[in-house]
A and B are shown apart, each in its own frame.
Chain A
Amino acid sequence: MNTSSRTTVVINYVLLTICALVAIYPLVGVFLASLYPTGPGSQPSGFALPPTFEWHNYVTAWEQGKFASSFQTSFIVAAVMVPASVILSVVAGYAFATMRFRGSQMIFWLFILGLIIPTEATIVPLYYDVRAMGLLDTYWALIILETSGEVAFGIFWMRAAFLAAPKSLLEAARIDGANSWQTLWRVMVPFARPAILTLTVLCFADTWNEFFLALVFTINHTTAPAGLASFSGRYTQDIALVSAGAVIVAIPILVVFIFFQREFLRGMLTGAVKG
């Protein structure tokens, strides 16, 4: 390795270390804060170690935040919404990437509007629609609304993944006798596996982090992040318990990410690096 490439490697490592520290700092801060004693006199801050390690905060947070119920809601919503979003995104993304049909561009951009328009802008009419359908405070309210939001991103994501596939692969499948459906499931889906798994992780993270819709549309079927709100009073906030709750809520996403880490990174890099 010559001097200039060694210098480049050193600079890269320094930059990456700084970026990693910036990303990790708040997480470590929240974790340390979660171990501080609770109560009005406690003031957790930054990287300062707590005077005593209050592991019991996690039990208190679990019970006080009613996480048993909200985790159940989040899991049920995720269990339906993630597969539904991924399947719809794969099928629609494939159609937009490989098929020519009248109005395809316009319909695609219509879906992209779902990415551009913030949920807050449509929340009032959505509320009346959901109420008219009798779905207020049900799992279905969250499942339908979150799926429709995720599909907008999912189509955009999967269309890009399928466009990255060599055209000859599709043509070879056609000549080999596969119809569109067989080409999708037997050739294109295995090809786009990293992108699909990445989409799955992103969908799961989005569903799991869902706060706003749960707050508006549910009372008894609230999601895990919405459960965190129970730690905040009008004038008080127990930082140690909120932090412990935040750590509890983050654990499933961490597990899913660790499980799919390799595929997630491959999916994120699809199209960025020539294969």
Chain B
Amino acid sequence: MADVTYTSVRKEFGDVVALQDFSLQIADGEFVVLVGPSGSGKTTALRLLAGLEAITQGEIRVGARVVNRVAPQDRDIAMVFQDYALYPQMTVYDNLAFGLKMRKIPKPEIKQRVERAADVLDIGELLQRKPRALSGGQRQRVALGRALVREPAAFLMDEPLSNLDAKLRVQTRSEIKQLQRQVGTTTVYVTHDQVEAMTMGDRVAVMNDGLLEQVGDTRTVYEHPANVFVAGFIGSPGMTFATLDLSRNGGPMTLSRAGMSLTVDPDGATAPIPGEVTVGIRPEHAHVWRDGGDLMGPVDGRVTFVEMLGREALVGVEAGAGQRFTLFADADAKVAIGDQLSFGVERRRLYLFDPATERALGVV
């Protein structure tokens, strides 16, 4: 086991910059998830660590060793691929044993390690089968087993759950997390699914356009997003944004535009607030206005959509001049498209961003 460090890493494919100024420190035994949309550079970052791509600039360390020019087989890492990459002509046993045979591990030890991994992953009965005779979930376990038997310094996982159906994905992600805790191996996990990232990672690194937007534990990334991108990407359903004007006439701060007005407490702001701000509200923090309670508001608007989710309904509201918000309402709240609806926002749950830089200004 070892820690992993990226220092100012840059990767170019011809004229395309896939990764720039990427610095990340992953502690020994930590589970870090690289999450972002397609083309954000997360898989490139993983492949650079694996040695499957050459670094254009910067430095990667596994433990104390700089591995920029070290061949993949000598980096002491094991990788789980999106398509599992099991050797189709080999049995499950041979798939698990292949990496050990290549490293000239004695046969009795290979047998012992394969059987131990098979036991942990509950694939003992599959050892003599070929990959084509396995289900998606079983293949996924074999792929994990192949990494596990190697007992490497770090596991690299490239969207290993994306080929599984939704139910199996939920089950397997908790198993992977549990397995990682059990063996304590440093793990770098890539996914585009923010739910997967939030449920699995000790820390989450949010990436976009080749840049690391924010890294932190799941709570920090969710509650204190560094910018508009992270705020919109993390959370399901995503945060909704509106551009409002700020006025402060000696008293409380008022956010308003085209007939919409919201009075807020400015104490949460961590940076000077300009005259115009991007306001972000998560659906789970906005509620239908009844007697007000502890909510900030009300904001009056017109219902634009209603999505019944069973336990609750997701309601879209247009307020001011085309500013759109979403909020959760009780499933039995009789709300229809076109209805007038007032809603309020929980205190300290209104996110302010600089519209020019898109950086967070604070939570009010």
Instruction: Name A residues whose Cβ lies closer than 8 Å to a Cβ of B.
Output: 166, 168-169, 171-179, 182, 186-187, 190-191, 193
Contact = CB atoms under 8 A, between A and B. Distances in A.
A135 B77 CA distance: 55
Given A176-B98, A177-B99, A178-B102, A168 B89 contact: no
B258 interface: no
Given A175-B72, A175-B73, A175-B79, A187 B102 contact: no
A191 B90 CA distance: 10
A190 B73 contact: no
Contacts of A169: 85, 87
Contacts of B77: 175
A191 B83 CA distance: 16
Contacts, number: 59
A172 B102 contact: no
B72 A174 contact: yes
B73 A176 contact: yes
Contacts of A173: 87, 98
Given A166-B83, A177-B99, A178-B102, A171 B89 contact: no
A274 to B, nearest CB: 13
The secondary-structure label for the interface of chain A is: helix
Contacts of B87: 169, 172-173, 187, 190-191
Given A190-B89, A191-B88, A176 B81 contact: no
Interface in B58-107: 71-73, 77-79, 81-83, 85, 87-90, 98-99, 102-103
What interface size band does chain B fall in?
20 to 34
B52 interface: yes
Interface string B32-73: 000000000000000000111000000000000000000111
Contacts of A174: 52, 71-73
Given A175-B72, A176-B73, 15 more contacts: A166-B85, A168-B83, A168-B85, A171-B50, A171-B52, A171-B85, A172-B81, A172-B87, A173-B87, A174-B52, A174-B71, A174-B73, A175-B52, A190-B90, A191-B89
Contact of A178 (B52, B73, B88, B150): B73
B225 to A, nearest CB: 33
A193 B73 contact: no
Nearest to B47: A171
Contacts of B102: 176-178, 182
A177 B79 contact: no
Listed from nearest, the 6 A-B pairs whose CB atoms lie closest are: A177-B102, A176-B99, A190-B89, A168-B85, A172-B85, A177-B73
Contacts of A171: 50, 52, 72, 79, 81, 85
Nearest to A178: B102
A173 B52 CA distance: 11
Given A168-B83, A175-B77, A175-B78, A193 B99 contact: no
A176 B90 CA distance: 14
A168 B88 CA distance: 12
Nearest to B143: A172
A169 B102 CA distance: 15
23 contacts: A166-B83, A166-B85, A168-B81, A169-B85, A169-B87, A171-B52, A171-B79, A171-B85, A173-B98, A175-B51, A175-B78, A175-B79, A175-B99, A176-B98, A177-B73, A177-B99, A177-B102, A177-B103, A182-B102, A186-B98, A190-B89, A191-B88, A191-B89
A223 to B, nearest CB: 36
A186 B102 CA distance: 11
Contacts of A186: 98
A166 B88 CA distance: 11
A169 B85 CA distance: 5
A265 to B, nearest CB: 18
A172 B146 CA distance: 10
A177 B150 CA distance: 10
Given A176-B102, A182-B102, A168 B82 contact: yes
A154 B79 CA distance: 33
A178 B77 CA distance: 14
A113 B72 CA distance: 36
A43 B98 CA distance: 65
A173 B150 CA distance: 13
